[in-house]
Amino acid sequence: MRRLTFLMPGDPASLTGGYAYDRAMVAGLRARGWTVGQPRLPDGFPFPGEAAFAAAARCIGEIPDGTLVVADGLAFGALPALAEAHAGRLRWVALVHHPLALETGLADVQAAQLFDSERRALATARRVIVPSAATARALAPYGVPPERLHVIAPGTDPAPLAAGSGDDGLTLLCVATVSARKGHALLIDALAGLGDRRWTLHCVGSLERDPATAAALRRQIDTLGLAGRVRLHGELPDAALQALMQRADVAVLATFFEGYGMALAEALARGLPVVATAVGALPETVPAGAGMLVPSGDMAALREALRRMIDEPGWRAQLAAGARAARAALPTWPQAVAAFEAVLAALATPADHAGAPR
């Protein structure tokens, strides 16, 4: 039985795509016979305070010498000094869902600090795993040698085709944490210009991770008079989310960058057509015939794509057919776990078969 330690910051049950990926890998590796230790890093990354840094230092310091350690990039990229200090005794594997410096809304000095921090940390990793070719390209300036970089796309669970709203109004669904990068404000502005059409927008995603953005979004919705048409659900249990997806007509996302776009892959699994921005990995995740991708930050183009979805049912049906065709080609979690295991197995040593990591 092979052994490793998997480091995540904060609550491993957090409802984001990155944490979902991490959880799926841990569960999948355990199902394939691995013993996976999960010491918990503190919350607060990628900007840990002194207490969080000290707790992370204690946690990492307690990991036995020689351990194979997979570290989520949200924390790993913010801990270059610890990555460097322990690189001689731990076999680091970095899992980068989204380069830290590419987060929307950062001041230039913050972005520069995060770039340097993550560049240093990644230099210590024996392997770097990313969810898409687009994320791999985004890491080019970080100097990760190509032979250490591996693209492993997330899997997608099989799902029944969505039934849709069943009336002449359109039900739009946006599944994304409410943060500056996800572009909710742009989406609301685009929909505000379509007030004479029948539509409803359901937004599912944390309202707590970026409270300032969430508060500003609430004010925007009220100012535009859309409180009756835009629902901010916050995080929902999976059953409630699946029920919303079953009643949805279109998946929407006005994000400024995506390392993969798991929420849109899940929408495709239900045969939902997509309106989103052509950023990061989304052109790879959403086939051309399954949705309409518009330039990042282009509110007019986004509004026009949404208008067509509402006004042109034939075009919407054509894209829905493309989404149904695309669902068959979506990667599965067993495939993703097998690829992940292959990367780890190349680094495994006889020591991984004895002495469980903490």
Tell me: pLDDT of 342 over 60.
yes
Asked if 126 contacts 92 with a C-beta cutoff of 8 angstroms, the reply is yes
Q: Mean pLDDT over residues 340-356, rounded?
A: 75
User: What pLDDT is stored for residue 137 in this prediction?
Assistant: 94
**Global confidence as pTM:** 0.88
Q: Mean pLDDT over residues 227-246, rounded?
A: 95
Tell me: pLDDT of 166 over 50.
yes
User: What pLDDT is stored for residue 348 in this prediction?
Assistant: 77
Residue 44 pLDDT level (bands cut at 50, 70, 90): confident
pLDDT one-digit tens code per residue, 288-327: 999 999 999 999 999 999 999 999 999 999 999 999 999 9
Q: Mean pLDDT over residues 159-188, rounded?
A: 94
Query: How far is Cα 129 from Cα 135, in angstroms, rounded to an integer?
Result: 10
Tell me: pLDDT of 185 over 60.
yes
Strand boundaries in the chain, DSSP class E: 3-9, 35-37, 40-41, 68-72, 91-95, 127-130, 149-151, 170-175, 199-204, 230-234, 250-253, 274-277, 291-294
User: What pLDDT is stored for residue 218 in this prediction?
Assistant: 97
Q: Parallel, antiparallel, or unpaired: how do β-strands 149-151 and 127-130 relate?
A: parallel
List the beta bridge partners of residue 37.
Answer: 5
Find out if CATH 3.30.420.10 is the number for domain 170-327: no
List the beta bridge partners of residue 231.
Answer: 202
pLDDT one-digit tens code per residue, 114-155: 999 999 999 999 999 999 999 999 999 999 999 999 999 999
Tell me: pLDDT of 27 over 60.
yes
Query: How far is Cα 123 from Cα 92, in angstroms, rounded to an integer?
Result: 10
In the chain, domain spans: 3-155+332-353, 170-327
**Virtual CA dihedral for 304, 231, 218, 193, nearest 10 degrees?**
20
Q: Mean pLDDT over residues 16-20, rounded?
A: 89
User: What pLDDT is stored for residue 358 in this prediction?
Assistant: 33
pLDDT one-digit tens code per residue, 71-95: 999 999 999 999 999 999 999 999 9
* 306 DSSP 8-state letter: H
Tell me: pLDDT of 169 over 90.
no
Fold of the 3-155+332-353 domain = Rossmann fold (3.40.50)
Tell me: pLDDT of 23 over 60.
yes
Q: Mean pLDDT over residues 200-225, rounded?
A: 96
Tell me: pLDDT of 250 over 80.
yes
User: What pLDDT is stored for residue 352 in this prediction?
Assistant: 57
Residue 350 pLDDT level (bands cut at 50, 70, 90): low
pLDDT one-digit tens code per residue, 254-295: 999 999 999 999 999 999 999 999 999 999 999 999 999 999
CB-CB neighbours of 46 under 10 Å: 21
User: What pLDDT is stored for residue 16 in this prediction?
Assistant: 86
Q: Mean pLDDT over residues 163-185, rounded?
A: 93
pLDDT one-digit tens code per residue, 63-73: 999 999 999 99
Query: How far is Cα 63 from Cα 210, in angstroms, rounded to an integer?
Result: 32
Residue 356 pLDDT level (bands cut at 50, 70, 90): very low
Q: What is the DSSP string of 19-37?
A: HHHHHHHHHHHHHTT-EEE
- Nearest Cα to Cα of residue 280 among 180, 128, 178, 138: 138
Taking the CA of residue 305 as centre, how many other CA atoms within 13 Å lie in the half-sphere pointing to its CB? 25
Range with lowest mean pLDDT among 58-62, 166-170, 246-250:
166-170
Query: How far is Cα 253 from Cα 330, in angstroms, rounded to an integer?
Result: 19
Percentage of the chain with pLDDT > 70? 97
What phi, psi does 172 have (nearest 5°)?
Answer: -100, 145
Q: Helix H segments across 224-332?
A: 238-247, 262-269, 282-285, 299-311, 313-327
Per the prediction, the chain carries an average pLDDT of 93
Residue 355 pLDDT level (bands cut at 50, 70, 90): very low
Q: Mean pLDDT over residues 16-39, rounded?
A: 94
